[in-house]
Structure 1
Amino acid sequence: MAKNYKMKTVDMPIIPLRGISIFPYMVLHFDVGREKSIIALEEAMVNEQLVFLTTQKDPEIDIPTEDDFYNIGTICKIKQMLKLPGNTIRVLVEGISRAKIKELYQIEPYFRAKIQEAIYSEELREEKDIDATMRLVLDTFEEYVNIGNKVSGEVLITLADIDEPSRFADTVAANIILKPAQKQNILEIFDPKLRLEEIYRILLEEIEVLEIEKTINIRVKKQVNKIQKEYYLREQLKAIQRELGEDEEVSDELDEYKEKLKKLKVSKEIKEKIEKEIARLSRMSPSSAEGGVIRSYLDNFFALPWDKESKDKLDIKLAESILDEDHFGLEKVKERIIEYLAVRQLSKSMKGPILCLVGPPGVGKTSIAKSVARSLNRKFVRVSLGGVRDEAEIRGHRRTYVGAIPGRIINAIKEVKVKNPVFLFDEIDKMASDFRGDPASAMLEVLDPEQNKDFTDHYMEIPFDLSKVLFITTANSLSTVPRPLLDRMEVIEISGYTEEEKLKIARIYLLPKQLKEHGLSEDFLKISDENLKLVISKYTRESGVRNLERKIGQLCRKAAKSKVENPKLESVTITKQNMEKYLGKPIFRYQTVSEKPEIGSVTGLAWTPVGGDTLTIEVTTMQGSGKLELTGQLGNVMKESAKAGMSYVRSIADRYGIEPEFYKEKDIHVHIPEGAIPKDGPSAGVTMATALLSALSKIPVSGELAMTGEVTLRGKVLPVGGIKEKVLAAHRAGIKKVLLPLDNKRDIDDIPQNIRKQLEFVLVSNMDEVLEHALIMDKSEKKQQVKKDEK
């Protein structure tokens, strides 16, 4: 393609501009502040007022070099100069023609170079393709002006009068909003035809962008109009409410709810549900009943600790010292809590365990839960389940009911204000069920670590995370706890305290506590260990220490009374002689067995809710018609054990010289003393079988031993529970030898070592072994029995 312009070399100063591009025929003003540029301006004013203006590549550079500005720019004529404060000059210039630097020969004190100026031929305008391109650009530019509304319509009239292609192209380019790089690109195209084609391409792109902007603008305007409409309507609603005398703070309340929701860290689904509730409330009259229900619901929602939890104190040694400080013994519980803390130190994601503390009343199940909370530095919350019959107590009432409220669990979490407390469910075995539902079934989700992450209360209808809660439950007996519920808990058995343990607890914990509560100094009330033992054995009968604490409190009250009556009294000493004065006559006595062998009388061992006890089973035979009489308030299981023992004795009657027809000719009476106390369970099976055999064979039973175990028809001895309590009872009664089922061997380890040393344990697997140790036979009787066994 032949060039339609020629280059003319001129010499003039150069000023680099920051962020500005100037096209030929364009009038523009700008400020000059750099010393080099000011000198260049002054030089230009001397020499025909012409200066070469080009654009810096990077506008941030303050002192540019040759490589920091473009070679192609515009020769301009300085039309006006105005000095401003701060050594700055405002310059008005007009673009003359595009040009490029041929040779930069001066850098200081200002840039000066030989410039090649482009001069265009007048014949160019007569070319048909140029004319067509100019028309196309004009039409497209008109469309650009109409869509954008950013360029004055007068520019179109000016362009229509321009027939010189290069000037036309530059005028269009000067009125399009372009980036500096795009302007420089157009400036560097010397050929007018190519420049028009590039401008046409840019115009098409800009029109496309403007169309998108227009669409977005319309959409935004609609949204803004909708918001304005809503605002106007709400203001009207407020005005109506003010006229009606209704609460003016409704909008403030709604804003408060929205602000709280914005700050809350909950899932998207929960936020959407609460937003709907807030929207419903905004459409209701403040005095409406439904509005009150929604307001109550929202208050309950925001009161829950969705993202608040206390920081665990994971110091194992400190936890150990706190647990030891608050409770004596209870090693298994303490060990389990320390294990939990150890795992929490290593793994932050561990779910809270669900511990079930099972044991008799007064052993410290409830109080140890408080100690666990203290050792973990967690909040403590207790919910008593004793007598709870309604499932809604646990899971809440649905909002369709009048006066609906959240369940006890969500309510307790709301009050404690953290999502990871130590949560105690007290007396879980005392729950009941009726037509209102089964609360134990509702507890299944709460006490399942895999499910309670999304526990949903019927009132809230929103899942709440309970997985960080450390649940502890307590029970006196597992027999009434449903199996599915029991399966979700880690059961820790807490057996009753021995007399020695009670003595230590009384000395270390109970006595100082009661003295403090009664305003007495520790030196005022004096009682020896021996006399404390008398209080334990003769005035209390329990597995725990609750009654013992009451008796110590009684001693403190009597001592306080003495001090008030006699202010000079320095101390009160409790002795064996004056104990009745303070506590009254002894309430209990422990049965002591007779060491003399007796026929038909055997010492058994029993478990009771307040600890172990000895049980004397008496059997006597009389001439009759084969009746079996059972007295002493025996339960069904115990009666069945007696019948099973009877059948076993009949099966071995010939070995012990018992008449084969005794069950037809003799009446047998089995009695267990203390008839006012109900008794049940299979553990007296071996005792009754031994007593029956002794009474029928007239062979005495050793008075130094006691036994426990279930018996089968074939004479096998099966394991039973409560071994620790039973053995302690045997020790108190002066027993020397204890017969235990072989399968209960593992339970001997739970018995205190000092008591184990004083007793002889015999493990038996069948009745033959029991009878061998229990019956006192001379050598001739034993030989006869061996012969019968061999036959």
Structure 2
Amino acid sequence: MSQHTPELPTHAIPLLPLRNGVLFPGTVITIPVGRPRSVAMIESLVPGESIIGVAVQRDPKVSDPELADLQPLGTYARVRQITRAGERSFHIVAEGLQRFEILELLHDRAFLTADGAPVDDALADPVEARALADALREEVKRRLPTLAPEIHSTLVQWSKLLGRTKEPGIVGDRLAAALNLDTEKEVQVLLTREVSERLRLVGGLMAEAITLAEVRRKIDSEVRRGFSKGQREAVLRQQLRAIKKELGEDEGQGDLEDLKARLDAAALDEEARKVVDRELRRIDAMNPAQAEYNVIRTYLETIAELPWGDRADAEIDINAIADKLDADHDGLDKVKRRILEHMAVLKVSGNERATILCLAGPPGVGKTS
């Protein structure tokens, strides 16, 4: 943060109205700029030297705000950096310097300008203000280890700055910026000139933000504990699909979903269903580039193609089997007789779980056929 405060203009201040958010003194933020008049203003500036006024709109929907559309106080800002974001848009890095009162808008240029007057912090009781600032610093340090992540990550970034800040008013402003408050609450802080009152307001807003974050975290934890196993698996599977999509690993997902649908429709018995569910869980957790992925995929495709639930009701014709064996294989009388005996027993008993025959011999003698 710059230690040198330049001379602040009071006439024809280039004005940048914000639809949402507040730039506080003692803070640095990046502001997107896209409205034509604001773009014209940015194009006229010299980075690092130009001082502008940053105002806050009462209604973010207003495109070309007039004086009545702006909050009465804004912030002088040094434009530290300008980056072109598009053909007619910019991002600027702005450092808040001091509050100022917007007295009048001027319309004599291609962009919005204003007459204004610097507004100093009001210190009714300097000792009380310093004590409140110290108490807020200590509260931030004390609460950091137990804060919810969304609050913790932001306050960690600001805790060192708070420790180095000597002005009580800037402590309040920087802490308000760190809390990621909604615009309405940030405006409350911006419009509070008396430092002790501002510090009390920020302390209350910090306690409220921390409490809300902790309540959200508790509710989220309770909801997750209340999930059934199936719900948890569904949520995790959905998250996994989203992650794979971001990583570019979502190709072929539609084919896999089709395979799952075919397996769901198959009349699998209980044991087969257990195996299929296990392999589906494995393939869901795999990267398609893994070698084992294709092995499991082929295995599941084979299972899906089997005629589950279908039963052959054809009559066993011993004479037809004998004719077929004689036509395809010369000799092998003992082997053919054993096969015919086996089929005859199967026909008489009707037992599908009969003895399985094992045909042994060198390659090429007709075992398979």
TM-score class normalised by the smaller sequence = 0.5 to 0.7
- 1:198 is the counterpart of 2:201: yes
Superposed CA offset, 1:61-87 (max 9, x none): 222222222221111011111223331
Q: In structure 2, give the amino acid aligned to 1:155.
A: W
Match of 1:185 in 2: 188
Aligned twin of 2:110? 109
Alpha-carbon spacing, 1:218–1:143, altered in 2? closer, same or farther (3 Å): farther
Aligned match of 1:129: 128
After superposition, the Cα gap between the structure-2 partners of 1:143 and 1:58, relative to the gap in structure 1 and judged at 3 Å, is farther
Task: After TM superposition, give the deviation of residue 187 of structure 1 in Å.
Answer: 0.5
Give the partner amino acid of 2:169: S
- 1:164 paired residue among 159, 164, 167: 167
Counterpart secondary structure, 1:217: helix
CA distance in 2, matches of 1:31, 1:246: 56
CA contact (8 A) 1:18 1:56 kept: yes
Gaps of 5+ in 2: 1-7, 236-263, 278-369
Q: Which one has a bigger Cα radius of gyration?
A: 1
In 2, Cα distance between equivalents of 1:82 and 1:47: 13
Partner of 2:71: helix, strand, or coil? Answer: coil
Contact 2:75–2:99 (CA under 8 A) maintained in structure 1: yes
1:162 alignment partner AA: T
SS in 2 for 1:97: strand
Distance 1:245 1:159 in 2: 64
User: Which residue number corresponds to residue 565 of structure 1?
Assistant: none
Could you give the per-residue CA deviations for residues 531-569 of structure 1, whole angstroms, max 9, x where no partner exists? xxxxxxxxxxxxxxxxxxxxxxxxxxxxxxxxxxxxxxx
Q: CA RMSD in A?
A: 3.5
1:559-574 correspondence runs (5 A): none
Classify 1:54/1:225 alpha carbon distance in 2 versus 1 (closer, same or farther; 3 Å).
Answer: farther
Residue identity matched to 1:133: L
Q: 1:89 deviation in Å?
A: 1.8
Give the equivalent residue in structure 2 for 1:176: 179
Residue correspondence of structure 1 range 238-637 to structure 2 within 5 A: 244-245=271-272
The Cα shift of 1:224 comes to: 4.1
Amino acid at match of 2:133: M
Partner of 2:66: 65
Partner of 2:27: 26
The amino acid of 2:84's aligned partner reads K
Displacement, 1:201? 1.5
**Please, what TM-score do these two structures have when normalized by structure 1?**
0.27
Give the C-alpha shift of residue 169 in structure 1: 1.0
Identity of aligned residues (%): 21
Task: Give, in angstroms, the shift of residue 46 of structure 1.
Answer: 9.2
Per the TM alignment, residue 229 of structure 1 is displaced from its structure 2 partner at its CA by 6.7
Q: Deviations over 1:560-600 (max 9, x none)?
A: xxxxxxxxxxxxxxxxxxxxxxxxxxxxxxxxxxxxxxxxx
Contact 1:13 1:43 (C-alpha < 8 Å) held by counterparts: no
Out of 212-221 and 152-161, give the one that drifted further. Answer: 152-161
Q: Quick check: 1:140–1:204 contact (8 Å CA) kept in 2?
A: no
Contact 1:147 1:211 in 2 (8 A): yes
CA distance in 2, matches of 1:22, 1:103: 20
**For 1:10, what is the secondary structure of its paired residue?**
coil
Check whether the contact 2:176–2:186 (CA below 8 A) recurs between aligned residues: yes
2:124–2:194 contact (8 Å) kept in structure 1? no
- Indicate the structure with greater helix content: 2
Q: Deviations over 1:491-515 (max 9, x none)?
A: xxxxxxxxxxxxxxxxxxxxxxxxx
Residues 47 and 79, structure 2, Cα contact 8 Å, conserved in 1: no
The residue number in structure 2 matching 1:512 is: none
1:41-73 alpha-carbon deviations (Å, 9 max, x no partner): 244439940000111222222222222222211
Paired residues of 1:24 and 1:170 also in contact (CA < 8 A): yes
Partner of residue 149, structure 2: 149
CA distance in 2, matches of 1:199, 1:192: 10
Gaps of 5+ in 1: 1-7, 233-237, 251-791
Describe the superposition over 1:641-672 as per-residue Cα deviations: whole angstroms up to 9, x where unpaired: xxxxxxxxxxxxxxxxxxxxxxxxxxxxxxxx
Matched residue SS, 1:131: helix
Amino acid at match of 2:136: V
Counterparts of 1:56 and 1:230 in 2: how far apart (Å)?
46
CA distance in 1, matches of 2:41, 2:274: 74
Residue 174 of structure 1: CA displacement? 0.7
1:202 counterpart letter in structure 2: L
2: CA distance between counterparts of 1:138 and 1:225? 43
The 1:107/1:143 distance shift into structure 2, 3 A limit, reads: farther
Distance 1:221 1:136 in 2: 36
Partner AA of 1:18 in structure 2: R
Deviation at 1:110, TM superposition (A): 2.1
